[in-house]
A and B are shown apart, each in its own frame.
Chain A
């Protein structure tokens, strides 16, 4: 009975493995796409989608040969397994022992040596490509300083004097010229993020306290989606941006337009101005403000822009003895998690003040008014 079951089981083994594999293959082929969505590299399949950078293409070209090796190994091992499972079944009522073979050194050396040679070749080839992908050319055409923070991106074009910040599904847009070397420098002000554009076939982590750099040469015009790839807290899933690659003339025109736009927008009065002073404060958690000390000019009204970067807790900024009658000045409304609040505080005479969060009184800092 047991033997009979085993035979049936082995047959089912064959048919079901096949079924499972074909089902997934079929699903892969059937997976259709809606309109063009930039964050995906193409339609999900066994092969990489569209890759638009020179460096990414080098890397993506590695995929197919490795995939073929993997398929060959897969078919070989699964084939032997199926063959063995079907061929060497114990017959009903057969109680004799098969030959008790304990090993074979030649075979062992063979199946140690051949894989070692294969992975050795793969290592040499992939390291060669790695050196090309990671290469840094001396005079890039455009340098973009990318700053990641919860949960937004800032793209600074320092040479051009431009800066773009954006959050959410739309995110900011990075415009770059095609067929030129783009140098990207990554900065973080809070936790680790990762700069990832699937169609660049590349990601690089954005690490606080460290500047990571890489270069790309985009070979096609178009708009390519990107997203933070390292889990960075509450709204990690919504930390998008786009890269738009254009020809050189369009890029130059875009730079000029944006510079004009920036000049036309009145800048907020620099701090220390005669009528009001602006302070920027932020908090990332309930332990402390990001700024332990603040400075402000005496006897002018203060505008406090408070950025609550804490993913969970509400916070505000309150000043001890900050009111003319000596009472504490409380910043209202309290900023909810992830929100920005702007407070108008009264003018303060020169001196040292403590500031704190009225929700979490252990969050404190010092405000020097002079």
Chain B
């Protein structure tokens, strides 16, 4: 590539900042998503430490009930809407155009708009701290949320509407990119699995976010303009909010986990040196999880007495099947492979080992009579954290270790990464496993205090110790990034000997991504290119001869 002479240092620096703010390059926007969502992750993590510090012992030692009631909801909002969602969007933003061999997203300027709308929404949500907090939980159940007098709740609602708009715009952008900008020869069934999961996730976003947006608007009107949507004395129905919220909220769970499945499905084949076992089954399972995700929302409402229980119980059981398929496919991919346990692979295996627990304790919740016992207890808290920490967070870290060389040209330190993995692995279990037993014993969630003689003190203390282990692991990761960025950019274009197109360009890629694209004849175009002549070419995959997609 031609090198351009650098302008004088000072004007160059100003130009760099200006360049980032005004950029429409999917890679820069992706990095901005990743960095800003990580900042929100740190805020959410600090809130989690406050929660665990308060609960480490019975009695109110650290914060007041009023503060606590704001904190647990904003912890969840930060982690779900301002960390996991935008982090996965950011990774998708960076990786998806590269994986399909495109120069950018379909609508680069809309892409920048979604990012800045997300930032605005995030700042609105954080500003609720300054205006009385938002003691309504992340579920914002009416009429508590419509009656709460804190201005912070208004800011929370407005911020969520904005992040929702950002997600809708992002979803449209991903879908058009995936449908229209794939490389020549890349039919839909030759897309990398990460792209498939982003596709299904985008469909879920497109159909679920507008519903909750409508509901949030209603809450705003009930709060500020005397509306009566969720107010029984005015003819409204509080349960209605739960329907609206969970119609979004359950697909949301898959929005948070499907891209994580995609990440793990990218990493395991690379570090096993085998193709993904049952690619088509995987695609079908992903799509059916997406479809079934819209049929199970009321399993969050079993105890409202207002839903037809067997219907939602049935589909909740059913959705376990395609999730199970994925586990077996990952294991079958590793079976007979030649495995190396670099940090990304370690995280992917940790994901399988621990997400399994989140799947199994979730299956209990589909049993309605058992849900009557543990709904709104720490059992559910444990379940969601095995899904979101052991699931989404582990996969996000796997992705960051895996794609960091592509984004920066540098490999994160392996030894530090492995140490961090084990600390996080143990910390996650120490924090969240005891919560199963607390929930089964009747400890409800969202309480600032519990009785000293309930027998819950030891397990709560254990859980709090684990939370600080997780915090330590996060600090190690930050140090790793900081130290690595000071080192030389010597990772090379394809440090993991990987399969997909993003590794076919330089690290980091040029603005236009590719000078040349290898021909795409399977879901592993780079693998085909590298192993054309050694007798292991995947004949079956080539004979797929999918002719969908544009051909130049």
Mask, B353-385, CB within 8 Å of A = 1, is 100110011011011111011011100000000
Closest-CB distance, B445 to chain A (whole angstroms): 8
A294 located at the interface, meaning its Cβ lies under 8 Å from any Cβ of chain B in the complex: no
Which of A20, A49, A196, A231 has the most CB atoms of chain B within a 10 A radius of its CB?
A231
In the assembled complex, the CB of A249 is this many whole angstroms from the nearest CB of chain B, namely 30
Expressed in whole angstroms, the Cα–Cα distance for A116 and B278 within the complex equals 18
Q: How many positions in chain B have a CB within 8 Å of any CB in the partner chain?
A: 117
- Which of A41, A49, A56 has the largest count of B CB atoms less than 10 A from its CB? A41
Pair A66/B147 contact, Cβ less than 8 Å: no
| Nearest CB of chain B from residue A240's CB, rounded to whole Å | 9
- Which residues of B are found within 8 Å of A3, using beta-carbon distances? 340
B153 smallest CB distance to A (angstroms): 11
Cβ-defined contact, A33 with B455, below 8 A: yes
**Which of A20, A44, A60, A285 is in CB contact (< 8 Å) with B147?**
A285
Residue of B nearest to A42 (CB): B441
Q: Is the CB of A190 within 8 A of B442?
A: no
Among A105-113, A152-160, A257-265, A345-353, the one that faces the other chain is: A105-113
Does B12 sit at the interface, judged by CB under 8 A?
A: no
Within 8 A of B (CB), among A1-54: 2-3, 5-6, 9-10, 12-13, 16-17, 19-21, 23-24, 27-28, 30-35, 37, 39-49
Q: Does A6 lie within 8 Å of B341, measured CB to CB?
A: yes
Is the beta-carbon distance between B360 and A60 smaller than 8 angstroms? no
Judge whether A312 and B434 touch: CB under 8 Å.
Answer: no
The answer to whether B452 touches A34 (Cβ under 8 A) is yes
> Is chain B's interface secondary structure helix, strand, loop, or mixed overall?
helix
CB < 8 Å neighbour of A40 from B150, B236, B318, B441? B441
Q: Does A227 contact B (CB under 8 A)?
A: yes
Check if B11 is an interface residue, CB within 8 A of chain A: no
Contact residues in B for A81 (Cβ distance below 8 Å): 331, 334, 349, 352-353
Q: Are B373 and A237 in contact (CB under 8 A)?
A: no
Contacting pair A97 B531 (CB below 8 A): yes
A231 neighbours in B (Cβ, 8 Å): 69, 136-137, 141, 144, 445-446
Could you say which of B324, B430, B436, B442 contacts A41, with CB atoms under 8 Å apart? B442
Question: Which residues of B have CB within 8 Å of A44?
Answer: 434, 437-438, 440-441, 443, 455-456, 459
A99 close to B373 (CB less than 8 A): no
Whether the Cβ atoms of B338 and A88 lie closer than 8 Å is yes
- Contact, CB under 8 Å: A192 / B321: no
B314: contacting residue among A6, A123, A209, CB under 8 A? A123
Please state if B357 and A62 are interface contacts (CB–CB under 8 Å). Answer: no
- A19–B313 CA distance with the chains assembled, in angstroms: 35
Q: Does B458 contact A (CB under 8 A)?
A: yes
B315 CB to closest chain A CB (Å) equals: 10
CB of A90 closer than 8 Å to a CB of B: yes
Q: How far is the CB of A114 from chain B (nearest CB, A)?
A: 9
Contact between chains at A88 and B278 (CB < 8 Å): no
Residue with the highest number of chain B CB atoms closer than 10 Å, among A17, A35, A237: A237
Contacts A20-B425, A70-B364 given: A285-B148 contact, CB under 8 Å? yes
Question: Which of B25-33, B86-94, B204-212, B302-310 lies at the interface with chain A?
Answer: B302-310
Which residue of A is nearest B309, CB measured? A130
Identify which of B309, B334, B363, B446 contacts A84 (C-beta below 8 A). B334
Q: List chain B residues, Cβ under 8 A from A66.
A: 363-364, 367, 370
User: Counting CB contacts under 8 A, is B19 at the interface?
Assistant: no
Provide the residues of chain A in CB contact with B334, threshold 8 Å. Answer: 81, 84-85, 88
Q: Is B534 at the interface (CB under 8 A from chain A)? A: yes
User: Please, which residues of chain B bring their CB within 8 A of the CB of A145?
Assistant: none
Q: Check if B339 is an interface residue, CB within 8 A of chain A.
A: yes
Q: Is the CB of B273 within 8 A of A70?
A: no
Whether, in the assembled complex, B23 has its beta carbon less than 8 Å from a beta carbon of chain A, the answer is no
- CA separation between A232 and B377, bound complex, in Å? 15
Pairwise interchain contact B440-A236, C-beta atoms closer than 8 A: no
Q: Which of B188-196, B480-488, B513-521, B536-544 contacts A (4 or more CB under 8 A)?
A: B536-544
B341 touches A9 (CB 8 A): yes
* A98 in the interface (beta carbon within 8 A): yes
- Binary per-residue interface labels of chain A (228-239) against chain B in the complex, 1 for a CB within 8 Å, 0 otherwise: 011111111110
From the candidates A12, A88, A102, A230, name the one contacting B336 in the complex (CB within 8 A). Answer: A88
Nearest to B285 among chain A residues (CB) is A112
The answer, yes or no, to whether B214 is at the interface (CB within 8 Å) is no
Whether a CB of chain A sits under 8 angstroms from the CB of B135 is yes
CB distance from B491 to the nearest CB of A (A): 14
Contacts of A332 in B (CB 8 A): none
Tell me if A46 and B144 are in contact (CB < 8 A).
no
CA separation between A48 and B366, bound complex, in Å? 17
Q: Are B426 and A198 in contact (CB under 8 A)?
A: no
Q: Which of B431-484 contact A (CB under 8 A)?
A: 433-434, 436-438, 440-456, 458-459, 462
Chain A, residue nearest B426 (CB): A20
Residue A212 CB within 8 A of the other chain:
yes
Return chain B residues, CB-CB under 8 Å to A173.
Answer: none
Q: Could you tell me the distance in whole angstroms from the C-beta of B193 to the nearest C-beta in chain A? A: 13
- Indicate if the CB atoms of B422 and A12 lie closer than 8 Å: yes
Of the candidates B310, B363, B375, B540, which one forms a contact with A130 in the assembled complex, judged by CB atoms under 8 Å apart? B310
Assuming the contacts A84-B331, A201-B372, asked whether A237 and B447 have C-beta atoms less than 8 A apart, the reply is yes
Once the chains are docked, how many angstroms separate the CA of A337 from the CA of B336? 66
Establish whether residues A101 and B274, one from each chain, have CB atoms under 8 Å apart when the complex forms. Answer: yes
Task: Determine if B277 is an interface residue (Cβ-Cβ < 8 Å).
Answer: yes
Name the A residues within 8 Å of B426 (CB-CB). Answer: 16, 19-20
Query: How many angstroms from the CA of A313 to the CA of B278 in the assembled complex?
Result: 60
User: What are 19 residue pairs bridging A and B, where the CB atoms are less than 8 Å apart in the complex?
Assistant: A2-B414, A16-B425, A27-B458, A33-B453, A34-B452, A66-B364, A84-B335, A88-B334, A89-B340, A101-B277, A115-B320, A119-B320, A133-B369, A169-B451, A192-B144, A196-B442, A203-B375, A237-B449, A287-B226
Tell me the A residues contacting B by CB distance below 8 Å: 2-3, 5-6, 9-10, 12-13, 16-17, 19-21, 23-24, 27-28, 30-35, 37, 39-49, 56, 58-60, 62-63, 66, 70, 73-74, 77-78, 80-81, 84-85, 88-91, 94, 96-104, 107-108, 111-112, 115-116, 119-120, 122-123, 126-127, 129-130, 133-134, 169, 190-192, 194, 196, 198-199, 201-205, 207-210, 212-214, 227, 229-238, 284-287, 310-313
B residues with a Cβ closer than 8 A to A are 65-66, 69, 132, 135-137, 141, 143-144, 147-150, 226, 232-233, 236-239, 272-275, 277-281, 303-306, 309-310, 313-314, 317-318, 320-321, 324-325, 327-329, 331-332, 334-342, 346, 349, 352-353, 356-357, 360-361, 363-364, 366-370, 372-373, 375-377, 414-415, 418, 422, 425-426, 429-430, 433-434, 436-438, 440-456, 458-459, 462, 531, 534, 536, 538, 540-541
A sample of 14 more A-B contacts (CB under 8 A), given A130-B368, A194-B376, is A12-B422, A19-B426, A33-B453, A39-B454, A48-B373, A85-B334, A100-B275, A101-B277, A111-B324, A115-B320, A192-B143, A194-B303, A208-B143, A214-B305
